[in-house]
Amino acid sequence: MTQNAFKSAEGQNAVYSAYDAFIGTMRIPYEQIRMDTRFGKAFAIAAGDKTAPKLLLLHGSGMNSAMWIGDMETYARHFNVYAVDLQGEPGKSDGRQLRFEGPDFADWLQDVFAGLSISKASIVGISLGAWLALKFAISRPQMAEKLVLLSPAGVGPQRTSFLFKALFYMLWGTKGLKRLYRQVNGGTPIPHEMLAYQMLIGKHFNFRRERIPRFTDDELARLAMPIKVFVGQRDIMFHALQTARRFAERVPHANVEVLRDAGHTLVGLADEILAFLRHESD
């Protein structure tokens, strides 16, 4: 049964209002773009020289492109960058949640490429966004220039304990949710504005409970484009070391970096990511 991203129209409006405030803090020229897909409207924030190489940013579940606003200033120096809201997540794309199984997600992203008049792009994705980047690159390798995958879903196993931890902390109300988000962040403090925004989304978003499918060995072996992978050793959602090990075994050309003191939410890597994306492209 198809589920909508938001629990209510009022909740959606509250999240959108805060989202607009984040977008309004951008210090570089930008535009907001809406495009058609076969599944409904999609939304993206665009910045950078339109003649520059293309770069797509794909956020994780339970978030939207507000998470990329700080990094976009770095990427836009050298790329025409698009931060795209995933369908079915608490952003401004259509709220109907797509099936993880089957071709729908990859078909949706192909429609986004078409709506943005992009034939090939590099993709930076985190968690669910990294899973979509992989799914798209496996099925349409000619459209993926380079991949940067942060805490990617679908490679190593999910931690079964995470759901129980999340349910436990939810019983403690606001205080418990703050502790949960900090654990997802590897125990490091989260800026107050972003923590408040995560709490607002958590109140109004219908979180997906089904497991994200894992890619087969044969699917991973198809990946030939340059790939950079970051995982946090303190990730409480995925087995980060098993993710790293599987890339080493099945995608040996991938550059995998294990961040020992990091959790699931990986931030502050824009300069390192930019160096990888620009390598051999000058």
Hey, is 126 helix, strand or coil?
A: strand
HSE at residue 46, side-chain half, CA atoms within 13 A, is 21
Q: Which is the CATH superfamily of the domain at 9-278?
A: Alpha/Beta hydrolase fold, catalytic domain (3.40.50.1820)
pLDDT at 229: 98
Query: In whole angstroms, what is the distance from residue 140 CA to residue 135 CA?
Result: 8
pLDDT at residue 23 is higher than 90: yes
HSE at residue 176, side-chain half, CA atoms within 13 A, is 11
Q: What is the pTM of this model?
A: 0.92
pLDDT tens figures, 89-147: 999 999 999 999 999 999 999 999 999 999 999 999 999 999 999 999 999 999 999 99
166, 180 Cβ separation under 8 angstroms: yes
pLDDT tens figures, 25-38: 999 999 999 999 99
Q: In which residue are the tokens 């942060």 written?
A: 150
